Amino acid sequence: MTYAAHHEEILRSCNHNPAAGRTAGAKRVGIWRRIFDAVYESRRRHTDREIAAFIERSGGRMTDNIEFQISQRLMTGDWNGWR
């Protein structure tokens, strides 16, 4: 199954000098970033729940066919077909 990294994971893995990114005071995150992160996390949790329910309805085993169906639905956004 494929994995799409969150933007923070990409930045963390690319930061070769972690001490340079730190400042004396904690940098406040803006309102738009907090809204974006909240929406992102909400959608991620919803997707995780949908996938778990789909696997459970399919017999509880992760097969190649189930993985293929999940990836197709994730790419096309066809959530209505899962119910």
How many angstroms separate the CA atoms of 22 and 5, rounded?
22
pLDDT at 1: 53
Domain ranges of the chain: 26-82
pLDDT at 5: 63
Q: pLDDT at position 65, please?
A: 92
Q: What is the chain written as a DSSP string?
A: ------HHHHHHHH-S-TTTT--SSPPPPPHHHHHHHHHHHHHHHHHHHHHHHHHHHTTS---HHHHHHHHHHHHHT--GGG-
Q: What is the pLDDT of residue 33?
A: 95
Q: Running along the chain, 83 residues long, what does each successive block of 10 average in pLDDT?
A: 62 56 69 95 92 90 91 80 58
Global confidence as pTM = 0.56
